[in-house]
Amino acid sequence: MSGARAVLLETARRYALAYKEAEVRGDYETAIVNLKRSVEALEDFLRLYPDDLLAPRVRKLILQYKDRIKMLERKMLVVASAGNGEEEYEVEINEQKEKSNGVRTPPEFVLKEKPDVTFDDIAGLEDAKQAIKEAIIYPIRRPDLFPLGWPRGILLYGPPGTGKTMLAAAVANEIDGEFLYVDAASIMSKWLGEGERNVKKLFSYARSRAKEGVPVIIFIDEIDALLGVHTAEIGGEVRVRNQFLKEMDGIQDKSSNLHVYVIGATNKPWKLDEPFIRRFQKRIYVPLPDFKARRKLLELLTRKIRLAPDVDLDELARILDGYSGSDIRDIVQGAYMRVVRELFESGKEGEPRPVTMEDFKEIIRRRKPSVDKNMLKLFEEWRRRFEAL
């Protein structure tokens, strides 16, 4: 074996490991840097050994890593690209692979960290919070009080920007267990069969942890992507979907007392088909914020901002009827940006002036709600058909 060949592969592997470590620490910047270096080494490898036995696998790996870099950069949150490319890669090129130390690690497309969000950070959504407590938190704390079993599948659906992802993240902080964050788009991949394999891997990891007595919550964000036409190959998504249905049946088996939960979130519930929907016994609507929730949200968002005495949060909450939580966040940020911009442009030092009612109104005039009436109607219709609290 040529020296350069081994060195390049080893280099790629080392950076890939460093990437993984950084990712586990939550240091995505370092993770990205290492992943890029790993890609560089792999690309050098391909240039020198285009016909190598490993070249096809290396090509695939590069694509996966690039995908992942993109996702990491985009979200700085979700670890992208499906597939445990590295694992295979290690098995194949690293014949003297050391025996693993027995610690199981989740598939790489899973983000295992607990996000820093609690129920108190979420404005409104009292029904949704309560439903989640009854469906997940109570059964985990006192399974003995649930002789009839408990739901394992929970679907959060509602317009974009209403706090679905936040809600799921907050659940993680309420339980003493493992929280697996998965972006559905990252389960799907361009290579036929991989999405299916990723689903298998995800659930098998969750089951193995649950068998050790650890409650596991799998949160699949944008779950409609599992059914979408994301794969290049025809039929890929059908297999992913079927595998997913099978896994859901597995965890819902009455004889199983394992605490494995699946929370799915979507803002396009009508993309889900009936067998899919049925696997989620609890379906929780996450609506646009009502007056009280908007008021609370404004309060939370302006906590660290100096407000002029004329700012009336009640009035703002009234004006913002029809706006989503993330719209409101953007509006508060926009209003604050006005005073910051002013400060910079004035060339002065010191603190920006307080934010006034006019700052808010100016931003609101220029921003329409991101969810329109027609879309809301679609949600209401879907809700009437499928709501299951």
Ligand X SMILES: Nc1ncnc2c1ncn2[C@@H]1O[C@H](COP(=O)(O)OP(=O)(O)OP(=O)(O)O)[C@@H](O)[C@H]1O
Tokens of 26: 């939550």
Site for ligand X in 207-266 (CB under 6 A): 265
155 binding ligand X? (CB under 6 A): no
What x-and-dash track marks residues 20-59 binding ligand X by CB under 6 A? ----------------------------------------
Of residues 201 and 295, the one with the C-beta less far from ligand X:
295
Binding partner of residue 207 among Mg ion, ligand X, none, CB under 5 to 8 Å per kind?
A: none
Spatial separation of the C-alpha atoms in residues 9 and 235, rounded to whole Å: 34
- 165 near Mg ion, rule: CB under 5 A: yes
The helix/strand/coil state of 155 is: strand
Q: Tell me if 88 sits within 8 A of 57, measured CB to CB.
A: yes
Phi (first) and psi of residue 11, to 5 degrees: -60, -45
Chain position whose Cβ is nearest to Mg ion? 165
Distance, in Å, from the CA atom of 35 to the CA atom of 354, rounded to the nearest integer, reads 43
Residue among 258 and 286 whose Cβ is closer to ligand X: 286
Residue 162 touches ligand X, criterion: CB under 6 A: yes
Cβ–Cβ under 8 Å, residues 83 and 188: no
Structure tokens given for 9: 């592969």
Cα–Cα distance measured from residue 15 to residue 207, given in angstroms and rounded to the nearest whole number: 30
Give 93 or 188: the residue with its C-beta nearer to Mg ion: 188
Q: How far is the CB of 147 from ligand X (least distance, A)?
A: 34
User: Which partner, Mg ion, ligand X, none, binds residue 83 by CB below 5 to 8 Å per kind?
Assistant: none
85 touches ligand X by CB under 6 A: no
Q: Which does 166 bind (CB under 5 to 8 A by kind): Mg ion, ligand X, none?
A: ligand X
Stretch that binds ligand X, among 9-17, 118-126, 249-257, 269-277 (CB under 6 A): 118-126
- Cβ distance 285 to 129 under 8 Å? no
Segment near ligand X (CB under 6 A), from 13-21, 107-115, 211-219, 322-330?
A: 322-330
SS3 assignment, position 192: coil
Strand partners of residue 285: 157
The tokens for 85 are 């490319």
The Cα–Cα gap between 91 and 291 comes to 57
Kindly tell me which of 290 and 362 has the beta carbon lying closer to ligand X.
290
Q: Are 280 and 226 in contact, with CB atoms under 8 Å apart? A: no
| 34, 165, 189, 243: residue in contact with ligand X (rule CB under 6 A) | 165
Q: Does 162 bind Mg ion (CB under 5 A)?
A: no
Please report, as ranges, the residues that interact with Mg ion according to CB under 5 A.
164-165
